[in-house]
Structure 1
Amino acid sequence: MSWITESNRMKHFGYAIPCALVFTILFVAGLAAGMEFKDRAHGGAWDWLDLLATLLGGLVGQIIQAFILFLIWKGGAV
């Protein structure tokens, strides 16, 4: 999995986690597509691995969100 340490993919991964934690993975998917569109519009290339890193971060954030909501629902949080 050395592809995730290339370029700025760890930033894509890291910044997607709080976005999915507050919103949803669907929001993160829109962010990922928007970032890649911006890169392409400014002369760069569409990078599917950047998009994948963002979605993986969104998945982690969504799992954390679901766990927090489960704890609240069960009455075990704070």
Structure 2
Amino acid sequence: MKITLRIPYFFLLVSLLLFGTHFPSSAQENLDIRTIQVDELSDQQIQELIRRANEAGLSTFEFLQMAEARGMSSLEVEKLRRRLEEL
């Protein structure tokens, strides 16, 4: 599957994980990945995010690349990478 076809899956996964259970009324709002704070994510949320990304055909590396390409700061991507290594 081409990376361009994986982008919608990425946004769906991120929005469902981060906003689906915590803010059900805001599920229709656009996700701004630039504002995600990795330090505020639980280990379970990160594991679920990676599991869903893998189910969509993304490797962890591709997931991190897409997060940065979509506006997540390099610092937050690095924090996420480190958190993944610790899990």
* TM interval, short-chain normalised: 0.3 to 0.5
Using the size of structure 1 for normalisation, the TM-score is: 0.39
